[in-house]
């Protein structure tokens, strides 16, 4: 036999590592140690199985012990926990119902993942609560859906939102609490508003800026005390409060742990201890934008890291450069996707960051049933380098963020973005797609030709002493349906014939629906000697920020 490769942990990183190791070497002796009952399953699909969108458990089981063992010629040890590593003798201790075993290795790959963050909640140990991390977790929840009528979800991140959707489809009365001031706190709030609105419309009770502080068992219910002084009794309690790297096994081998709490690895996924690799949620990842380490418990990076670790452990030569951070979440038809840094993160990292907003249809607007995508782009003013983007809508949102994520990975600038060669036909996109529009607007800003102001800045101007004229260049019908207070309405096509309405000595702030007509009007006014500025994203962006400031999130 060839070298002995032992992998601790299955699912995304571990199972991928085993499969890649086998493709690299047919001679290797590969053993996987997995603490749960399933070796390879779609953990990202668990909320959709619970909500019966995915109808059967077998649909999320990618491999059984038998199918994986047969296809990849591996020794799969399920319901087995690795407890200790001795890197000097290259032995690992594992325990299961059959007792204690000592397993030798030539190369060891750790893929122990993350462990749930358990908040400090009074009485939590006295009640039943659930995580959504494994097939077993999902099965326990599904068993209770026939009798449960109400649920409290703690945490408004990816899993919290997806579980809220699952329970909506299951017909449960659902409350979600999020400690931060908005749901999906790693996204831009003006974009995550799309999901907030859809969840509220579906009857989900969302409470942001709120914590669960105490629970107690009362009859057959769990009584929950919230920080907003509200008390509710529910049948199910779900903790979706995030994960942290599970490094307990790694520490027994003396492996270096980083400041963020994850295992430190190099581009080859090697740890600080010879012949031991690590991959997945347990490792700190190199952020390609900041150059610093970060934690990113996502399936995509875990799979790619596992592939590299498995290749190298089996004698190959691959590298994993790092992450950008693309992700997407949805609630029914509402979709929000993000890549890179948020504006707040970019400023905190010391970038000279600027942002713009655009909104455009997901395919040609004249083609039936266009769905609009609202996109925020963050970039560095000095270099034009793209730093991040968040978008919301219903159709085509992830595709647009994938394009921008690829541009970030390729170290592109906003000037590159406006010239990207993308697919186009009326049913599938626009000749000037939303990514192009973002590139146009950002590039114009950097060239000094855009004259745009953000909706946040406009709302600050409204509260200040700066005197300006507010010009709405939409149609009279649009203006009548909804307009900003104290605005003058001159339709863009009539603007040149009605300039006398405006005072040339007073700055003009222009807006339209999403920013395009406003930009055209601003350029007309600028060329005729007016001091004009366009609200980026138009009235739609302003409405989003007004909602946020009013505490909608």
CATH number for the 452-549 domain, one of 3.50.70.10, 3.40.250.10, 3.20.20.20, 3.30.310.50?
A: 3.40.250.10
The residues, any chain, with a CB within 8 Å of residue 181's CB and separated by 6 or more, are 189, 208, 209, 553
Tens digits of pLDDT across the chain (553 residues): 689 999 999 999 999 999 999 999 999 999 999 999 999 999 999 999 999 999 999 999 999 999 999 999 999 999 999 999 999 999 999 999 999 999 999 999 999 999 999 999 999 999 999 999 999 999 999 999 999 999 999 999 999 999 999 999 999 999 999 999 999 999 999 999 999 999 999 999 999 999 999 999 999 999 999 999 999 999 999 999 999 999 999 999 999 999 999 999 999 999 999 999 999 999 999 999 999 999 999 999 999 999 999 999 999 999 999 999 999 999 999 999 999 999 999 999 999 999 999 999 999 999 999 999 999 999 999 999 999 999 999 999 999 999 999 999 999 999 999 999 999 999 999 999 999 999 999 999 999 999 999 999 999 998 888 899 999 999 999 999 999 999 999 999 999 999 999 999 999 999 999 999 999 999 999 999 999 999 999 999 999 999 887 764 4
Quote the pLDDT of residue 2.
85
Say yes or no: do domains 4-113+244-313 and 333-447 share a fold.
Answer: yes
Give the integer Cα–Cα distance in Å for 136 and 286. Answer: 32
Q: State the CB neighbour count (10 A cutoff) for residue 193.
A: 25
Name the residue among 503, 435, 431, 442 with its Cα closest to residue 469.
Answer: 503
CATH among 3.90.1300.10, 1.20.1090.10, 2.40.30.130, 3.50.50.60 for 4-113+244-313: 3.50.50.60
Domain 124-241 has CATH 3.90.550.10: no
Q: What burial class does residue 337 get, using C-beta atoms within 10 Å of its C-beta: 0-12 exposed, 13-18 middle, 19+ buried?
A: buried
Which active-site residues does the annotation give? 44
- Write down the pLDDT at residue 447: 96
Helix (H) or strand (E) holding 461: helix 455-463
> Strand runs (DSSP E) across 181-315, as ranges?
205-208, 212-218, 221-226, 231-234, 236-239, 243-245, 276-278, 285-286, 293-294
Contacts of 111 (CB under 8 A, 6+ apart): 7, 8, 9, 10, 11, 12, 13, 14, 17, 278, 279, 280, 282, 302, 306, 309
> What's the pTM value of the predicted model, to 2 decimals?
0.94
C-alpha 150/C-alpha 235 separation (Å) is 5
112 vs 131: CA distance, rounded Å:
17
Kindly list the domain boundaries of the chain, sorted by start residue.
4-113+244-313, 124-241, 333-447, 452-549
* CATH class of the region 333-447: alpha beta
Look at residue 551 in the predicted model and tell me its pLDDT. Answer: 62
Q: Which two tokens stand for residue 365?
A: 């607007």
């Amino acid at each position: 036999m060839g070298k002995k490769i032992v992998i601790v942990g299955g699912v995304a990183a571990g199972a991928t590592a085993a499969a890649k190791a086998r493709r690299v070497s047919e001679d290797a002796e590969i053993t996987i140690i997995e603490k749960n009952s399933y070796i390879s399953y779609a953990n990202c699909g668990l909320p959709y199985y619970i909500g019966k969108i995915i109808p059967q458990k077998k649909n999320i089981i990618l491999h059984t012990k038998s199918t994986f063992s047969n296809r990849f010629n591996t020794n799969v040890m399920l319901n087995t926990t690795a407890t200790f590593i001795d890197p000097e003798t290259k032995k690992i201790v594992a325990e299961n119902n059959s007792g204690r075993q000592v397993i030798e290795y030539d190369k060891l790959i750790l893929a122990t993942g993350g462990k749930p963050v358990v908040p400090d909640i009074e009485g939590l140990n006295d009640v039943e609560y659930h995580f959504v991390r494994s097939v077993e977790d999902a099965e326990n929840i599904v068993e209770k859906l026939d009798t449960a009528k109400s649920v409290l979800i703690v945490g408004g991140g990816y899993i919290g939102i997806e579980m809220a959707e699952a329970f909506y489809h299951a017909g449960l009365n659902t409350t979600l609490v999020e400690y931060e001031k908005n749901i999906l706190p790693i996204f831009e709030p003006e974009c995550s508003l799309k999901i907030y609105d859809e969840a509220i419309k579906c009857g989900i009770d969302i409470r942001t800026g709120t914590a669960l502080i105490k629970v107690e068992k009362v009859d057959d219910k769990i009584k929950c005390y919230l920080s907003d002084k509200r008390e509710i009794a529910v049948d199910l309690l779900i903790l979706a409060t995030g994960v942290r790297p599970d490094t307990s096994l790694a520490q027994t081998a003396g492996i270096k742990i980083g400041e963020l709490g994850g295992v430190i690895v190099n581009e080859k996924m090697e740890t600080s201890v010879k012949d031991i690799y690590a991959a997945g949620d347990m490792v700190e990842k190199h952020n390609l934008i900041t150059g610093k380490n970060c934690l990113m418990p996502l399936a995509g990076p875990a799979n790619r890291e596992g592939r590299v670790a498995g290749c190298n452990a089996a004698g190959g030569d691959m590298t994993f450069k790092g992450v950008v951070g693309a992700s997407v979440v949805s609630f029914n038809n509402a979709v929000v996707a993000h890549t890179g840094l948020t504006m707040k993160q970019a400023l905190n990292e010391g970038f000279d960051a600027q942002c713009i907003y655009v909104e455009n249809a997901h395919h040609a607007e004249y083609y039936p049933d266009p769905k609009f995508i609202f996109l925020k782009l963050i970039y560095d003013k000095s270099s034009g380098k793209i730093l991040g983007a968040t978008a919301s809508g219903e159709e085509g949102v992830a595709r647009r963020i994938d394009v921008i994520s690829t541009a970030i990975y390729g170290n592109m600038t906003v000037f590159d973005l406006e010239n990207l060669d993308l697919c186009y036909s009326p049913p599938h996109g626009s000749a000037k797609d939303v990514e192009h529009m973002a590139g146009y607007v950002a590039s114009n800003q950097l060239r000094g030709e855009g004259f745009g102001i953000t909706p946040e800045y406009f709302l600050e101007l409204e509260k200040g002493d700066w005197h300006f004229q507010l010009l709405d260049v939409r149609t009279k019908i649009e203006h009548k349906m909804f307009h900003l207070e104290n605005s003058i309405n001159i339709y863009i096509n009539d603007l040149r014939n009605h300039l006398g309405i405006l005072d040339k000595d007073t700055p003009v702030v222009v807006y339209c629906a999403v920013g395009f007509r406003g930009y055209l009007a601003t350029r007309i006014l600028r060329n005729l000697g007016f001091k004009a500025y366009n609200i980026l994203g138009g009235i739609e962006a302003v409405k989003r920020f007004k909602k946020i400031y009013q505490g909608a999130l």
